[in-house]
Chain A
Amino acid sequence: MGRTNPTYRDFLDSYEREFGDYRRGLRRRYQSDFDSLFDGAREFADAAGYANHLDRDVLVLLSMLLAHEGTIREQREEIEELREAVAVLQEQVESADGEVA
């Protein structure tokens, strides 16, 4: 194993190192965003490793996108919950207003 190509997890590490200069040129607040992009890619190293005949650069980008998609889904769910909570609160406020009136 790993004779033909480095494993995907090893590849990802070296790929990130290749962007070392790019990261260095970033403002600090973007450096942590940059890091979380690669954290996102790492989250799916298992699936990317399994699909190892695909273009690895594309796998990295797709994994980053998928991490984003996941974050968007979580935020959407959170927004939904918050909306429901706000709606309940609004109802309470309105009924309280009604009572006062």
Chain B
Amino acid sequence: MVVAVDVEDDEVRLWSRVPAGAEPRDVPGTTTERFSETVVVQRDRDYAPTCYVAGPDDALADLRAALESDPKVVDLAWDRKILNLRDDPSRVLAVSLERPSEIATFAREVRTLHEPENWRPGTVRLYDVDLSPKFRYCLERGVDPTPEGEEGGPHWPRSLSLSLPTERLAAGDLTALTCEGRAAPRAAERRTGEARERLSPDGDGETSILRALADRLDSVDPDVLVLSSADLVPLIHERADELGVECDLGRLPGHRVLAGENSYESYGRVGHSPARYDVPGRAIVDRSNSFFWREGKLPGLFDLVDRSWKPLQEASWASIGTVFTAMQIREARDRDVVVPWRAWEGESFKRMGTLHDADRGGFTFEPDVGFHEDVVEVDFASLYPRIMIENDLSPETVQCECHDTDDVPVLGYSVCPDIEEPFVPSVLDRIVGDRYGFKADLRATDDPGRAARLESKISALKWILVTCFGYQGYRNSKFGRIEVHESINAHARELLLDAKEYLEAAGWRVVHGIVDSLWVTAAVDDPTPIADVCARISETKGIPLEHESDFEWVCFVPTSDGERGSLTSYFGRREDGSFKYRGIEARQRSTPAFVAEVQRDLVEALDEHREPAPVCDRLARAIARVQSGNVDPDDLVVRTSASKALADYDQRTRTVAALERYEANGVARNPGQDVRYVVVDDGRRDRDRVRLPWEDCADYDADFYETLLVRAAESVVSPLGWDRERIRRYLDDGRNLTLGAFR
């Protein structure tokens, strides 16, 4: 029932929502106070977090002696912990510090003072250092930060959502603040009306907005604040102070800055992480900075909290990898394994031939570019996690020292058969199993509220499963090993090729295949039914091959130079009438809504006529619309993100023009943040090339959008052999309009 955890240096507070008058779960070392009828707070004033140091006995003894007089250290003890999944327990020095914030200071001192003075670098290793504070508290004290009440019931955490548009936030203007929230979670209420509302309908300026907000916080008493941006926290508090209004977002006054904003680069992409704030007694979810909020909303987040024990606020801003690591850390703690501070697992030496064989990804067939009728899609469900589970692939099993068997196909690595429950597979097994269960529940339920919650959880877990394997190859991964990554890929390639052989023998032809999916059409008049082939492969291989969809038709799109099939771009119509789009403009984040909508319409035209000319007639209509100036500029917004700071660009791109406008508007845009604009004059190189969405964009650059439309149309008709030139020639002969265009 704990929802919010405040970790401060002098005390830790656990905030829970309970049934009226009920007591929270007991946490040793805390005193309980009732905050309101259904909210209690447990205070812990004696919390001293612990980290571990390992190394040679004499070095540890020296360090222990040196730390005896360190005022930060409240307790020193010898303990036995497992330092590496493959090893037996070793003797370690357990160091407990007086304040949570001192763990980092202590670790730095060992690295930069104690070690250089006395020993060679790398003599001592630190463990359990970089756990986030709230998560660490829950782990160390055994506090489950998951709500206990019935999901969606009256004792489930309450949330309140506050939104302020970006440009108003930048201007520090709170008058446009809107709110959505319920005193008690009633799904019906949410559907029927209480959508987003102005806090003070009469709009009496900021004083009345803040008073209304204070009233709302009082009446709803939310456990979770869902904010359009965490920067609302300092803004609301400062403004309330200035105007003399009593308005606190937390259950106690004040807020803290946990981390400043920063930009970072990961796998060649620049990201941005905004500043993080903490208010006492409530968990903050920053919608602009929460991957899992986008994917799983609160139900998905709470499910991850349950699995990882990362309290809601920390789970909400965590990346997929961070949440998956937290799940592994929980499992590790159960096994007495401690977490290395700087993960370091060297790659083992291999022969050049093995390196050639191992350093490869999944198998991808060359797509058969063009229009294909009656296509069946089959795929291996959760392929990579299941390969790890089925084959016991884990850092401590692969290439074990005790066996010299040939277990991984092609690579010949051994996999230790003596380990009862391999580490990574046992974490994944629960996720795969539960997600499978959620899917079954979803099919069985007729309660729309429950269905929505299940969908959120399924979606959040999906991301853990699709990335868990990549994490094995990530150099900073706490429990990863490159050889495991290589083994998974080796198994995946063999599986896909084996599946291809089964399908071909059963009378099917492969038109495309990517890593875990195959698209096939009948090669003979009467092939073995696909269900039988799938059942046979699933049974032999131990990994379910599922019959995913039946397509009336599928188009595989060539690359833009027309030279080959693009491996990941296709679209098609399923037997049930729905369409599937992958990789084409309609699916790309940057594509303006109007262009995406036109492209979907063109695909429908293709479906209707099965030839390119009528599609181009439909395109001509869209072009006429955009040229007439009648398209709503909101639908023409291009969305991208800046890869560097404005000053670092040397090309005059549209993004640069937009960044200059953001700057002129006083809206800070850091590398990795969203940049949105409408193109108004693409011939210009200065900032009048674009306008920002909230500026006057009525006079957009129709020719620019026409180009985007033609490009989108090209993706649709290129599988039928028409390229951009051909489309232009057809359009130029405007009298070619057939009746089809006017249907």
Whether the pair B563, A39 counts as a contact (CB closer than 8 A) is: yes
Question: In angstroms, how far is the closest chain B Cβ from the Cβ of A32?
Answer: 13
Contact between B356 and A53 (Cβ–Cβ < 8 Å)? yes
B608 beta carbon closer than 8 Å to chain A: no
Q: Find chain B residues with CB under 8 A from A46 CB.
A: 363-366
Tell me the minimal C-beta distance from B115 to chain A in angstroms: 32
Residues of B within 8 A of A53 (CB): 353, 356-357
Cβ-closest chain A residue relative to B367 = A46
Provide 5 A-B residue pairs closer than 8 Å at the C-beta atoms, listed in order of the A residue: A4-B355, A5-B359, A42-B366, A42-B563, A50-B363
Please encode chain B, from 257 to 293, with 1 for each CB lying within 8 Å of some chain A CB and 0 for all others.
Answer: 0000000000000000000000000000000000000
Which residues of chain B from 347 to 380 have a CB within 8 Å of any chain A CB? 353, 355-357, 359-361, 363-366
Closest chain A residue, CB of each to CB of B357 = A53
A1 at interface by CB-CB < 8 Å: yes
- Find chain A residues with CB under 8 A from B366 CB: 42-46
In Å, the complex CA distance between A50 and B563 comes to: 21
Report the contact-size class of chain B (Cβ under 8 Å from the partner). Answer: 10 to 19
With A42-B563, A45-B366, A46-B365 in contact, is A3–B356 under 8 Å at CB? no
B313 at the interface (CB under 8 A from A): no
Q: In the complex, which residues 1-57 of chain A have their Cβ closer than 8 Å to any Cβ of chain B?
A: 1-5, 39, 42-46, 49-50, 52-53
B residues near A (Cβ < 8 Å) are 353, 355-357, 359-361, 363-366, 489, 493, 497, 563-564
Partner of B356, one of A4, A39, A43, A45: A4
Q: Report the separation of the CA atoms of residues A42 and B367 in the bound assembly, to the nearest whole angstrom.
A: 11
A1, B355: Cα distance in complex, Å: 10
Nearest CB on A from B612, distance (A): 22
Whether the Cβ atoms of A52 and B365 lie closer than 8 Å is no
Could you say which interface size class chain A belongs to? 10 to 19
A2: chain B residues at CB < 8 Å are 359, 361
Residues of A within 8 A of B564 (CB): 39, 42, 45
How many residue pairs link A and B with beta carbons under 8 A? The number is 37
Q: A4-B359, A50-B497, A53-B353 are in contact. List 5 more A-B contacts (CB 8 A).
A: A39-B563, A42-B366, A45-B366, A46-B365, A50-B493
Complex Cα distance, B360 from A5, in Å, reads 9
- A1 contacts B364, CB within 8 Å? no
Chain B residues lying within 8 Å of A4, measured Cβ to Cβ, are 355-356, 359
5 closest A-B pairs by beta carbon, nearest first, are: A4-B359, A1-B361, A53-B356, A46-B365, A46-B366
User: Could you tell me the distance between the alpha carbons of A46 and B515 in the complex, rounded to whole angstroms?
Assistant: 12
Contacts of A45 in B (CB 8 A): 366, 564
Residues on B with beta carbons closer than 8 Å to the beta carbon of A5: 356, 359
CB distance from A78 to the nearest CB of B (A): 18
Binding site for B on A (CB under 8 A): 1-5, 39, 42-46, 49-50, 52-53
Please, which residues of chain A bring their CB within 8 A of the CB of B363? Answer: 46, 49-50
Q: Let me know if A3 and B359 touch, CB within 8 A.
A: yes
Interface centre among A1, A2, A45 (most CB of B within 10 A): A1
Residues of B within 8 A of A42 (CB): 366, 563-564
Task: Give Cα distance in the complex from A46 to B357, angstroms.
Answer: 15
Q: How close is A5's CB to chain B, nearest CB, in angstroms?
A: 7
- A1 contacts which chain B residues (CB < 8 A)? 359-361, 489
Q: Which residues of A contact B365 (CB under 8 A)?
A: 46
Query: Bound state CA distance, A5 and B563, in angstroms?
Result: 23
The CB with the most chain A CB atoms within 10 A, among B359, B493, B497, is that of B359
- For the complex, give the distance between the alpha carbons of A4 and B359 in Å: 7
Residues of chain A contacted by B493 (CB below 8 angstroms): 50
A28 → B minimal CB distance (Å)? 18
A1 CA / B357 CA spacing, docked (Å)? 10
Query: What residues of B have a CB within 8 angstroms of the CB of A39 in the complex?
Result: 563-564
Which residues of chain A come closer than 8 Å to B361, judged between CB atoms? Answer: 1-2
Chain A residue with Cβ nearest B473: A1
For A49, what are the chain B residues with a Cβ–Cβ distance below 8 Å? 360, 363-364
In the bound assembly, the distance between CA atoms of A5 and B353 in angstroms comes to 12
CA distance A1 to B563 in the complex (A): 24
In contact, A52 and B356 (Cβ under 8 angstroms): yes
- Residues of chain A contacted by B563 (CB below 8 angstroms): 39, 42
Closest to A3 in B: B359
Closest Cβ–Cβ distance, residue B515 to chain A (whole Å): 12
Q: How far is the CB of A39 from the nearest CB of chain B, in Å?
A: 7
A53 to B353, CA, bound (A): 7
A52 interface neighbour in B360, B364, B489, B497, Cβ under 8 Å? B360
* Cβ of B568 to closest chain A Cβ, rounded Å: 13
Least CB separation from A43: chain B residue: B366
A43 to B489 CA separation, bound complex (whole angstroms): 23
- Distance in angstroms between the alpha carbons of A45 and B364 in the assembled complex: 9
CB distance from A63 to the nearest CB of B (A): 11
How far, in Å, is A12 (CB) from chain B's closest CB? 9
CB distance from B411 to the nearest CB of A (A): 12
Question: Which A residues are in CB contact (< 8 Å) with B357?
Answer: 52-53
Chain B: CB-nearest residue to A42: B564
Query: Can you name the residue of chain B whose Cβ is closest to the Cβ of A44?
Result: B366
Contact partners of B360 in chain A: CB under 8 A: 1, 49, 52
Task: Give CA–CA (A53, B357) in the complex, Å.
Answer: 7
Within the assembled complex, what's the spacing in Å between the Cα atoms of A49 and B359?
Answer: 12
**Shortest Cβ gap from B194 to chain A (Å):** 50
Q: How far is the CA of A49 from the CA of B489 in the complex (A)?
A: 14
| A20 to B671 CA separation, bound complex (whole angstroms) | 38
Residues of B with C-beta under 8 A to A52: 356-357, 360
Q: How far is the CA of A85 from the CA of B74 in the complex (A)?
A: 96
A1 to B493, CA, bound (A): 13
Q: How far is the CA of A14 from the CA of B155 in the complex (A)?
A: 63
State A11–B563 Cα separation when bound (angstroms): 15
- Among A2, A39, A49, find the residue whose CB has the most chain B CB atoms closer than 10 A: A49
Cα(A44)–Cα(B364), bound, Å: 11
CB distance from A3 to the nearest CB of B (A): 6
Query: Whole-angstrom distance between the alpha carbons of A53 and B356 in the complex?
Result: 6
Q: How far is the CB of B136 from chain A (nearest CB, A)?
A: 35
Tell me the minimal C-beta distance from A72 to chain B in angstroms. 20
